[in-house]
Structure formats: C-alpha cells, structure tokens
Structure 1
Amino acid sequence: MTFTFDEIPADWLAPGTFMEVKPNYRTVGVLPWPVRNLIIGQKLAAGTLAPGQIVEITRPEEAIALFGLGSIGAEMVSAFRKANKTQPLFVTALADAVDSVKATGTFTFAGAVPQPVVLRFRVGGRQVRITAAPADTVTQLATKLAAAINADTACAATAASALGVVTCTARHGGEVGNDIDLRVDVAAQAVPAGLTVTVAAMAGGTGNPDIEDALDLLPGAWYTDVSFPFNDATNVQAFAAWAIGRFAALARLDVHGYVAKRATYGQAGTFGQLTNCPFLSALALKASPTSSWEIAAAAHGIAAFHLTNDPARQLRSLVLPGVVAPDPADQYSDLESELLLRTGVTMLECLADGTVTIGRMITTYRRSALDIADRAWLDIMVPKTMSRIRYDWRGYMSLMYPRAKLIEDEHEAAFATREDDDEETGNAVASPRRVHGSWAARCRLYGERAWITDVDRTIKESAFEVDADDRNRLNSRQQVMIVGSLMVSAGSLEFQV
C-alpha cells in the first residue's frame, strides 16, 4: 500500500520520527445541524432596529427596544422564545409601508349596568378590565375602556372613545392589523343583564410591507427556519419562490417558513392554496384571541427545536405555548380540518383547557409541476429530513475526500485497499465503488436514527459513476426512503354474535 501525507515531504532525508496528527472521519456520527432561526418582524417608529440590519437576540426584552413596545416584531420574538428557549435567533425589521392604512375595530356600549361590576375585554389577546358603576353612562364606560387600552402600552392597538363607542386602531399599518382579535371576555366575566357590548372586528388595514426588502438581505446567508407576519398573497408567494430557489442543488441554503392567518374555513382554504411550496407551512385559526403572527412564531419555535433533534419525527400533540384556542363555536370541525389539510393548511387541535396543539404540520405543497395531485412533500418532516441528509452527506464528502483524485473502479489504484473496507482512503483517491461504500455507511447511520427505512434496498439501488465527458466529476443517483409516521390507525372492531 502506498501512503500519502499532507505535511511530511516525500523526499525528506533528515533522520527523525515525524507524525501527522489528523482526524479520521470514517466513523464520524451525523454532523450537527447548524440551525439558525430568523424572524422578519414589523417595527414601529420607536424601534431602534433599522431596516436592512440583522441582529442576534437572546432575550424577548431586547426585541422591545429593537422593534418598539407594542410592535408585531416584539410579540413574535416573545412567542418564539416561549416555544424555543435555546436555539439561536436572529431578527430583521420592516417598517410600515408609506401608503399603508391601519385597521380599526370597535366596542359599542348600550344600556346600563344594574350594579358595580368588573368588565373584562381582550385586545390582541391581552386582557383589559374596567370597573363599571350603575351611574356610568355608555359614554363614560367607553371612556374608561379606551383609557384602559391605552394604559397598556404593549398592546397592539390604541383606542379612542366617543358617544359610547371605543374605536381601536392598530399600531401598525397594513393587512396585519386585521388579525388583531377584539372581544368581550365573557369567559372571565359575563356582561350583566341590561348592558350590551357589540364588537366590530378589526378590518380595513391595507398595505403590508414588502417582504422582498428583507429577503434581499439574505442572498447567501444560512437560515434554516423563518417566520413572518405578512399573510397576504403577494408576500406569501414571494417567500415561497425565495425558499424554493434556496433549496436548489446549486444553492443548498435549505430554509423553511411559517406564516399564519386569522381565517374562517373558506378564507383558510384560500390561504393554503396561495402557494404550492414544500418549504412553507401555513397555519390558520378562525377566531383565536392570539394574533396570527404570534401563532406563526410559536409554530416556528416548536418546529425548529424538535425537528433539529429529529427531523423525521412528527410534531403531533406538541403544544403551541401562549396560543389560545378559539371558542368552541369558532373552532373548525373535524371535517373542515381534514379538508383544510388537503388545501395546504396545517392542522391545529384545540383542547378543552384552551390550549392549542399541532395535529399535523404540513407544507403547502399539493401538486406536481405537471399539476398532478402529489403528496411527496406533504409533511414538514420530508423536506427537513432531506435537508439533514443532504447537509450531512455534503459535509461528510468534504471531510473524507477533500483532495482526492478520482479514478474508475477498474483502475489498479482502486484495489490498493482491502476489498472488505471501502472506507480506507489509500492513495487519497476516490472511485465510484469507494464513494458508494461511504454512502452505504451513512445510510446505515441514518437508518439507525430511524430517518430512513429499507436501508439495504436504498444502498443497492443507489449508483455512482465517473462522468463520461468529465473525468473530474462523479455522478450519482442516491436513493432514500424516508421513514413513515403513525398518522392514521384504521381498524375494524368486530364482535361475535
């Protein structure tokens, strides 16, 4: 066997014992996944984070200074950190569009209270309370509520009152403000007989920022998971196109996005079908007290954490911390949830205690490039597992064959290693057979982690060859079969008669 060295000259004459020290990567485990999370948030004028900046933050309170108190960006960071306390998080900001319009909604009081009572309300999920007295007129009640809303400077909306009507205005311009929930919190305190409070939902917001202004900052930057608050068609489709481009073979900047919407069943179906992207998950709830951008950030935090630990393991039953379930009457039915899955909307389940869990996190991919119904990329675990395998194999090849010569299997140097040891580097050469052996070893490692199944078959069906026209190029077709998930258990329970 002929040995090659990186540091010891082949013609060295001076006596001595010389030893290169270097690692042998033949049996290295799966390479760590360098997860990097990014939140694209909307900022208020008080936020210090200038558009175009990307900074890493560790604590939610940092986001208050960067995005502004009561901003969408600050709420997203808080929601993410409730779900994911350990992974690195970066943020970038977009200011309100110049021509944006702020959403508004109202509380309208009528009647009177028969006795002193504490009335409770929620604005964007944040509880607001006032004490109502029998002598209070509807104008006075509205004044009290507006003052209480404005006293909460972290609230996503401000308020003004006139003649018994409280008008709430989103702090941010754009469609995002339409997703701020307004409600009388009757679960905490019923409205007494004789008084009515009518709620008009937030609406009228238009002109979200352009997410491409943020995406343009990331042409070659590595971010594995990104959440954003803009659920309008233009921004969702722009992100999807960006994510698809990053997954391409020559880019290798795999990323997955998370976006959510406050939506009726019909609106949610339309939302899910805005894109056909394997690298974007869309979430929807009809009338959760929690704002849609917080839902997206919470899902982002949970998915990034657990899929980094195991990209092939489904996320079912995991709680989205801080996300409050809609009232039972506003929850999607089982049939609606099933049908929404078919339109690209992730299934969320609402528990009796008001918490929200992941039922089945999917992507928005539904159809092939030939417009044929296709479930190849349905579950988020598919792109996540493929990203991990591709990243690991690319890194392993760089470690094992950094300066290798490429030869055919028939070359005499290809037999310089033991026939039963395809991983031996020998003359610092690579051949199709040797690289195939390396691939076999990695597949067995992926199989041990239950990322893939039918390992022997995938190894056998994989193929490597030197390119017929370029002897510096090794072509391959590497097969894997991603492990399944226990999603449906179907059985026939029969009794004897």
Structure 2
Amino acid sequence: MASPNISFNQIPSSIRKPGKYFEFNTTGAINTLPGNLQLMLIIGQRLPSGAVPALAPESVTSDSQAGQMFGQGSIAHLMARAAINANPNLQLTVITVDDAAAGVAAAGSVVVAGPATGTGNLTLIIAGELVTILVNNNDSASVIAANLAAQVAQQSDLPVTAAVDNTNPAKVNVTAKNKGLAGNGLLLSLISQTAGVSGTVTPMAGGLSDPDIQPALTQVFGAGHNIIAAPFSTQASLTELRTYMDQVSSPLEQRGVIGVAGWPGSLATATTLAGQINGGRLTMAWYNGSVSPAWMIAAAYAAVIASEEDPARPLNTLALNGLDIINSAQIPGRVDQETALHNGVTPLEIGPGQAVQIVRAITTYTVNAQGIQDPALLDLTTIRTLDYVRLAVRQRIALRFPRDKLTPKTPDKVRSEILDVLYKLEELEIVMNVDANKAGLIVEKDLQSVGQLNAKIPTNVVPGLHVFAGVIDLIL
C-alpha cells in the first residue's frame, strides 16, 4: 500500500476487508542530537586474591568494590580508586589481566639505623601512600624494622608487601604485589621524626615483563567504550592500544575511542615516548617528578576527560583530584610546557589551591606519514568532536531511513537531514560556519555499488580559546 508521498511498513496493499487501519511511524520522532555519555575502561593487573577472573569486564562504582574484585593493592584496584577520586560520577568498567608468566616483581628495601634516643614517628612513603609507625625511646633498629613491616601488612591497599630480611633484622624488603616493569615506578622514601633513627632506601627495581594487554582489548572490541586508561606507558603496550583504537574507530567499526596514558618522568623521556606513538587518538599526561605511578596518572586523567561530555570544550584547568603535589623544584617552567605541547605531551601543573590541573589536552600526533609537522589533530577536542559528529549523523540517518528505497528523491532528503544535524551542532557550538560550508555538502549515488549513497560532509570544528594576546599602549 503506497501513494506518491506516503508509504506503509505494516499495512499491506492487499487488504480488501473494509476498515480504518493505522500504523505508528517513529522514524521522525527524534529531532535532537544524541547524548554523549562517556564510558571509561581501565585495563589493569589483578591479584590472585581478586574475586573476578582475568578478562572479565566488570562495572565498578567504588574503591572497596574494586579491591574485592581485583585484589587489594593490585594495579587494577588502585587505578579504579584514582579514577573514582578524580570523577566520582564516572561510568567505569574494569577488565584485568594476570601477571605475565615470565614476570618478575620489582623489589626495594629500607635499612633502619638506630637505636632511638627519643620518641617520635618514622614514615615510609610508598607511591605517595604514608606508612607511619610510633618509635619509642631505646627501640633498636631491628624492633623498628619489624614494626614497619607489620604496619605495611596492616595497610592492605598498598601496592607492595614487606618483610624483615632473613639475614639483616634491621632491613625491610619491599616487593611489588604485581609482577612487571610497572613495579619499578613505585617510589620509596623515608622520613624520620625520631632522634637517633635514620634509614637508607634502595629504590624499587628489577621488575620485568608486563603482561600483554591484547587479550583484554580483544575481549572488549565490541563493547563501545569511549575512553581507555592504559596501565603501561611503554612503547610496546601503547602501540598495541593505538592499533586497537584505529581498528575500533575505523569507518567500518565506527566506535570512536581515545586512549589515555600517564608519565611521571622527565620531559625528554616523555617526548620520546610520545614520538614513538604519534597517535591522534592517544593523549599522555606528563606530571614531572610525581610519586604517583604512570598508571595512576593515566586513570585520573582519563576520568577527568570522561567528565566533559561536550566534545569541543577544552579541558584546560580541570583538576585531577587525588594526585600528589610535586616538589616546587620539579614544577616545569613555561619553556618546558611549550616544549611538551610542541611534542605531543599534555603537561600538568599545580594551580591555585594546590590543585593538579591540565594545561592543555593534546594528542601524541605531531607528524604525518611523510614525517611532516601536522597540527590537524593537535587538540584532543578535535578527534572527540569528529567522533561525535559521526555519531550524530549516523543516528539521524538510521532513524529517518531504516528501510527506504534509493530513488531520485532520496539524496535530497538525506542531505536535508544531514544539514539539519549540522545546524543543531552549530547551535551547541560544536561545529561552526555551516552556511558558509553547506555548498560542499554533497549526497549522491555511488557509480559502482547499486543501492549505495555517498556523502561528503564539511565539518568546521569549533577550536578552543587557548591563547589571548594584547598590546597595552602607554598614554601619558
């Protein structure tokens, strides 16, 4: 049953029984843009004590829940904690991997010197977490060491275990709970507030062989997460993540995703790593000298990105709650920040109120395939905006033309719907200059594939206001 301007999906043309028949058509009901809720995924190492097995994605809403699911003090647990601290309203999923079969745990130590000649405190700082014990007058070095190891055991959320050395009772051996290179990033330091007591710290080292994240990525390939926090800031692991993002965000899969990494090391090592990745979908936060491991910085940064649903709105000055405040001597100056921003690295800084905040969120993409400088995907907002425009156009076409024929009228109707989407995006200041560019909006039949309609959609993304410059003229 059909007429020149009306077609039916459920009422057949063969009806002969008299009656008044109506069907419902909802294809034109939605005229707004789709929501842009950001779904975040964390990939992290679990411990055998965790209730949830590896490669099983789980929704996480609290710190305690993450500890129970993945093992207290595991990388997965502490990444989830960092993310929730940074964004309590986060829509978070965590998928874990087991330690690599060839993995070796990082280890360090503290050698205590005594005896105490007064009463006070001794504090061991582990990746920013404080382990403080009471030291009594006349306590020997071995007593202090035993108490310190016992206190570490009491704080089960720490990413390490501790035990008194078998041959030196004044020495506390510290071992990462998860095996792999990531454990080498757990910084140790000691503060004595007791007369007569001091200590020598041996940094964490010797961790080898991070687990492969590819099985976890394969498991969530069709899940549609928007943001993925990377557990390992190494070239090999981030290259795997970059490849996954390019695949899942491709024109055929169309599930746009960005990856997030962290880096507490030097500017030189940060820019080197960013250059090795050079990915328009990966952003790396650089927090020079932080005691927070790379994976904790990544989780907090990713959670803050997820808090902003407007894809075109810059993330400048947003705070990463929960990260440590670095020593003033390690705060990068303006030249270092400019260097980072010209080399694919997102610098963090200490803002008012001692808040760790984003300077400007950029991607690691700096050069094209020919090695020529290319600022097309400099700001993270650009790729996020393009992903959202694609989502909005896809939704409108899917709603309006679920079972349409391709007639001479169809291209104009499709073009009209796409133009309406662009105007609505312009109203929200996600794209701009629609009228100026609409002549370039082309919808036409494919010359080779029967039943295929092609479109060219000019998209002028709205840039962020990052720089204001002025001249102040002196008048006497």
Structure 1 residue 352 displacement after superposition: 6.0
Residue by residue over 1:88-129, the C-alpha shift from the partner in whole angstroms, topping out at 9 and shown as x without a partner, is 322211111111111122334446654311233321222111
Q: Given the alignment of the two structures, is residue 79 of structure 1 paired with residue 82 of structure 2, yes or no?
A: yes
Q: Deviations over 1:31-59 (max 9, x none)?
A: 12364321111011111222232222333
SS of 1:259's partner is strand
The answer to whether structure 1 residue 19 and structure 2 residue 25 are counterparts is no
Equivalent in the alignment of 2:216: 214
1:496 aligns to what? 475
- Counterpart amino acid of residue 172 in structure 1: N
Separation of aligned partners in 1, 2:380 and 2:438: 25
Partners of 2:373 and 2:103 in 1: how far apart? 38
Does residue 93 of structure 1 match 2:99? no
In structure 1, stretches of 5+ residues that fail to align are: 409-413, 415-429
Within 1, Cα distance between the matches of 2:355 and 2:376?
31
Whether 1:367 and 2:367 are equivalent positions in the alignment is yes
Partner of 2:154: 151
Aligned residues: 470
Shift of 1:444: 0.5
Which residue among 413, 418, 431 is the counterpart of 1:439?
Answer: 418
Q: Aligned partners of 1:469, 1:272: CA distance in 2, in Å?
A: 41
Deviations 1:335-383 (A, max 9, x none): 2222122222212111364431111111111111221111111111111
> TM-score, structure 1 length as denominator?
0.89
Paired residue for 1:423? none
Range with greater deviation from structure 2 (15-24 or 45-54): 15-24
Structure 2, unmatched stretches of 5+, are none
Q: 1:150 to 1:287 in 2, by over 3 A?
A: farther
The separation in 2 between residues aligned to 1:152 and 1:354, in whole angstroms, is: 27
8 Å CA contact 2:118–2:196 kept in 1: the answer is no
Structure 1 counterpart of 2:106: 103
How far, CA to CA, are the matches of 1:469 and 1:338 in structure 2? 49
2:56 is matched with which residue? Answer: 53
Per-residue CA deviations over 1:129-152 (Å, capped at 9, x if unaligned) read 112234233333333322222221
Match of 1:474 in 2: 453
Structure 1 position 71, deviation (Å): 0.8
Compute the RMSD of aligned alpha carbons.
2.1
Deviation at 1:74, TM superposition (A): 0.8
8 A Cα contact 1:324 1:354, kept in partner: no
Between the aligned partners of 2:351 and 2:197, the Cα distance in structure 1 is 31
1:311 is matched with 311
1:106–1:200 CA contact under 8 A, matched in 2: yes
**Distance (whole Å) between structure 2 residues aligned to residue 287 and residue 204 of structure 1:** 20
Tell me what 2:389 maps to: 389
Report if aligned partners of 1:39, 1:226 keep a CA contact under 8 Å in 2: yes
Matches within 5 A, 1:161-172: 161=164, 162=168, 164-172=170-178
Once the two structures are overlaid, the 10-residue window that deviates more, 384-393 or 335-344, is: 335-344
Aligned mate of 1:174, from 176, 180, 190: 180
Partners of 2:60 and 2:123 in 1: CA distance: 34
Does structure 1 conserve the Cα–Cα contact (< 8 Å) formed by 2:446 and 2:452? yes
Partner of 2:120: 117
Instruction: Provide the rounded CA distance (Å) in 2 between the counterparts of 1:158 and 1:493.
Output: 60
Instruction: Give 1:17-416 correspondences, 5 Å limit.
Output: 17-25=20-28, 28-33=31-36, 35-110=38-113, 113-161=116-164, 162=168, 164-184=170-190, 191=193, 195-306=197-308, 308=309, 310-351=310-351, 353-408=353-408, 414=409
- Cα separation, 1, equivalents of 2:29 and 2:69: 46
Tell me the residue number matched to 1:450: 429
CA distance in 2, matches of 1:113, 1:287: 32
User: What is the alpha-carbon distance in structure 2 between the residues aligned to residue 61 and residue 84 of structure 1?
Assistant: 16
Distance 1:383 1:122 in 2: 39
Name the CA distance, whole Å, in 2 between partners of 1:240 and 1:111.
51
Sort the Cα spacing of 1:195 and 1:286 in 2 relative to 1 into closer, same or farther, 3 A. farther
| Amino acid corresponding to residue 288 of structure 1 in structure 2 | S
CA distance in structure 2 between the partners assigned to 1:192 and 1:267 by the alignment: 38
Partners of 1:443 and 1:459 within 8 A in 2 = no
Task: State TM-score, norm by structure 2.
Answer: 0.93
